[in-house]
Structure 1
Amino acid sequence: MAEEGKGGYSEHDDRVGVVGGGGSFSVRRRKGRGPFRGKMYSEMNHRFRNRGGIGPGPSPRLRLDEGDGDVLMSDAHDGSRARHMPYGPRPNRRAEDWHDRDKGAASSLQASVKRNQTVQDRSGATKTKWFKVTIPYGKKYEKSWLLSNIQSHCSVPFVAVEFHQDHSRAHFYVEDSKTAAALRQVSRKIIDRDNFKVVILVNNSSPPQSLQNELKPEEVEQLKICMSKRYDGSQKSLDLKSLRTDPDLVAQNIDAVLSRRSCMLVLLRIIEDNIPELISLIMSHNKLYRLDEMAELGQKAPNLKILDLSHNELKSERELEKVKDLKLEELWLDGNPLSNFFKDQSTYVSAVRERFPKLLRLDGHELPPPINFDVETPTTLPPSKGSYFSSDDLKAPVLRFLQQYYTVYDSGDRQGLLEAYHDGACCSLSIPPIHGNPSRNTLGEYFKDSRNVKKLKDPTLRFKLLKHTRLNVVAFLNELPKTQHDIHSFVVDICAQTNTLLSFVVHGIFKEVDGKARDSVRAFDRMFVTVPAVNNGLCIVNDKLFVRNATTEEIRKAFVMPAPTPSSSPVPTLSAEQQEMLQAFSMQSGMNLEWSQKCLQDNEWDYGSAAQVFTQLKVEGKIPEVAFQK
């Protein structure tokens, strides 16, 4: 027996193994070390030479690998091949060890697939990812037997694009990483009639060449002529059934493959330029396995009502998502593999109608009338309404309370708010979800105290973030950024009212006046739950604050009118009597509080004189509109 070489491979795991290198080789049994001799030796020599040649020159592994650049050098052509180590331990050939190795290879491939996918996304490459599938010794199998067995073991439906054979292998392409990973899991699960395990190798690849070919200008013109012959102007119907075998195209040697991206895009462009009024489109028997390139069909032919996709290669109803913008009334899908994946007809109809709610006929069968309300989506939002006070009796005390509260809140020293809170009051803060690093977000100052954007597993922390007692509440408010509120932006809605409780929500705009986010404009919504206090005032028992960034429109409208001068006093400089007079004058005149106060002050708080002056100036049209903006 000749001396064993260094580089070789072993045949199938349940057959004899051949080890070769350089110009010699030896054959050994899987079990035992006795060599084959005589006639069997010659037969094995002839057998392996016919499968690709073993003899002088490079190692058989390298020679096979040179035939296909898509197969990684780290992957074996046959699952049972292993590098021979003449001075190392003999490999364990137990079935479970082969299985474990398959699991490792599968996870390695999946990691490779995911890594390649990420790199391509970052480089800005096309969104479609292609993978080449190789079956070593796949040429000896019938195509139908091989593909049907792979599909039966694969966890996801797939289309074998451009199936072909070279040397002893079979190849085809698939289009996404999920399918690629599922196919890799099928490796070694199929056993042929000779008890050999079918190995499946999957590698990242460029798109198949047939999908990259562009139609030449003269071919586009011929395709346009062919389509014009197939168009019925009276029915506004275009019949593209079996377009690839059209005699006119075959005679011109034009390969019109509608599953090819370039061809489909040309087709849609012709429809857009020449027959945008199209109502019916027949595309049956064209071997379509995806509808990605048809996503813009609704824009090219907005009146399309009938679409025939029967007898194609659509595997999943998910493909229909890509054309769901079409307002179809009739659809044909029979003859596609996707029809076989539904347990019953009602499930099939529901899945299709979920994408096309106005569908009346499916595969030639009438469907029950769709349930809809024919409510058109409004193009613009209705204008927002102003404040809601259930009665004028509530309006005055609520507005007075808000003016006093936010005058102190914006003063720079919020200790004066202690008088506004009940001894057992509680307060909480919420903000919108923050994506990324909170410290880099403009709302980062509010993140640490927010109760709604953190996963709080510690009940004590959850309790601490809800501030209890008026001392803790005011201390918490003091830590928030210093602000200036636009009183004139406030919109107030009364939610609930009883003899002992009043709940209302305030929406408004403020800006920060110090810190990192100085001059940042925010919007807020704040719910106050109050109980009666002395002097007909309100005392807060619950305070819920929500802060977000203001919209462009809110910023544009904010701080149009000058803000009142802040005061550190919990009660503005006006007496209680003046406060009541101000509220009454504002209510009767229709002017806002600022201009009402100005009118009263100019008349030395003489209500009758102020009312007479106001009436005269209003008749003369000398009061600006800004005075009536609440």
Structure 2
Amino acid sequence: MYRHHGNPTLCHRDAKMGSLCPGDSLYCIQACLQKRYDDRTASLDLSNLSIDPELQSTNKCLCLNQASDAELILQLIAEHFPQLLSLDLSYNNLSSLTDFSGLSALAPQLQSMNLSYNQICQAQEINVLHKLELKELWLEGNPFLASLESTSTYYRIVMNHFPSVQILGSFFVNEDLRAFLVPFVSRYFTIYDSTQRQQLLPLYHENCCCSFSLPNVLLPHICVEQAKEYLKENRNLLRVKRAALRQQLMKYNRLQVVGFLCNLPRTEHDLSSFTLDVWFQTPSLIGFSVAGIFKEESPKWKKLCRSFRRSFLIVPAMEACAQILNDQLVIINSYVDQYEDKCGPASPDPGSPGSNVALCDGNMAVLRNFSESTGMKVEWALKCLEDNNWNVEQAQDVFSLLKEKGTIPQDAFQAAM
């Protein structure tokens, strides 16, 4: 990656360059792009293009914030990289994306874009790219983020333009928070994955508490077998009805909490799979969640793959002294029983959103009404409700938006539709 922190140096375009680029200049640019292209991942890294050392050595300069240079790059992408899946445009001083509106036609398979650390001041700019069916998008470091009220506002804006996005690049209210949390999370899980989990003691407050639960999901038999070690500690409130047992399953004070964690199976977390969501921040308290996947060592099974979500409340101090006040751990069992070489999340058929959620009578009524009001089949209505945490109003808004955009498959609807 050709990245540096800060904005790239502005330069004046070579007068000879543009869409009618002479042979020598065009050859240099093509060679530069070929070196920045990874054919294994079909990704093109154009970050910091204006200060590319090879172009500078030949007195060439490409500035993607100039229309003619952007047009030239798009022409070359269409000619040499039509199967492009990932494009990195970070650190290019872009304030407008209008010149890249043709990407959807020139690189129709594009799934990932990095627009980080540019000069995008208006959130509406990203609408220029709305025809792209992006699955991954990075926008951090752009000025418009500073004007947003919360992370949820950021997510909502992006999802309105790109409903297919599955991975949304990191968004922190400020860089100080990033610098505080990322090392803390990395340190925590490094210790957690070691054989010395008792070293987590200093990271927990003296009066902390911790709870653990498995989701209320009906799993294949073999997966239930693999989850037996966790069942006795499962504090899922939909399953644990007795108040006394709920109280008993809570872990209080640092000794109980760390003792409980030490008794859980050995793990190996994949830090590259982590997503971090900060949902609460005051000068004296930070609330955030970490989600990802991990391998679990088991004497009975080969390494299992599980996914997890962990919510923390911590006292922000110096990184080494930060203390956890509340720790809520949810582990989701894998639908695949054995993993030999590496861990990867099971990929359900995207065309079939079926679910095995155990529904209570109240949820069944909500599901039935939502299915009737939207005209969707029950399984699709269920997926929509689950994706929106059973918030019917929000699910209805999302359904209306996706239906208007025409992104809902026809087979999602009942025959009457």
Q: How high is the TM-score relative to the length of structure 2?
A: 0.39
- Larger RCO, structure (CA 8 Å, separation 6 or more): 2
Larger radius of gyration: 1
Instruction: Provide the TM-score with structure 1 as the length reference.
Output: 0.27
